[in-house]
Structure 1
Amino acid sequence: MEEKQILFRFYSEIDLNRVMEGMPWFLIDILLFFHRLLRGEDPNMVPLWEIVFWVQIHNLPIGFTSEGTARQLGDFIGKFMDYDTSVITRGVSKFMRIRVLLDVRFPLKRKK
């Protein structure tokens, strides 16, 4: 493809899902962007400026680890996608993990 772009083809849905769910990926301190192409989508026209990260939120008061709180915090940081319930179910926890979609364009633009 174009400079600094590589097109991967996965023959196994399991492998593709493992890569997509394991984001973010780094190679020698370089952040790698992945996008699952839809049928008919031009790979050269895909905007690669959003990436998924797991974010830890610490020092939460007891009782503030609900899905509603996770959604609000996730949407404040970026776009909420998911949250890790295993941290919450292990006992009284003062932090949570939230999966968010972040806009990483430069310069960073703040939401209004």
Structure 2
Amino acid sequence: MTTNDSGISVFDEIEFDVNQRGGMFLTDQIASKNFRIRKSNLGYETDFHLSGDATFIVILKGTLKIELQNGDYKLFSTGEYFIAKDNLPENILFESKIHGHKASVIGDESLEAIHIKL
């Protein structure tokens, strides 16, 4: 998830090239600032917001629904991952009815995830 030229959050697919190393296929190193373990109860939801720092999110348990302003959404479940990096240029002020995404924990179990700040 990123922002387009108008500052609107959009889903985007990114491919990372991999290289073979001793039977493993690895990407080049990707720098990170820190990581956190996240837990959210079933029913948790946010208002529309932006990611702030780009964050690589790995779902360990549960299902996280990410919804955009236009109603498009994606579900991320156990074992899936994504990068949240929707943010506005400095000259655009955040408006909760125009910008950002919202997140909610859906399904029948709480969420556990790893957040890695990039």
**TM bracket, shorter-chain basis:** under 0.3
State the TM-score, normalizing by the size of structure 1. Answer: 0.26
Answer 1 or 2: which has greater helix percent: 1
| Structure of higher CA gyration radius | 1
RCO higher in 1 or 2 (8 Å CA, sep ≥ 6)?
2
User: What's the TM-score, normalizing by structure 2?
Assistant: 0.25
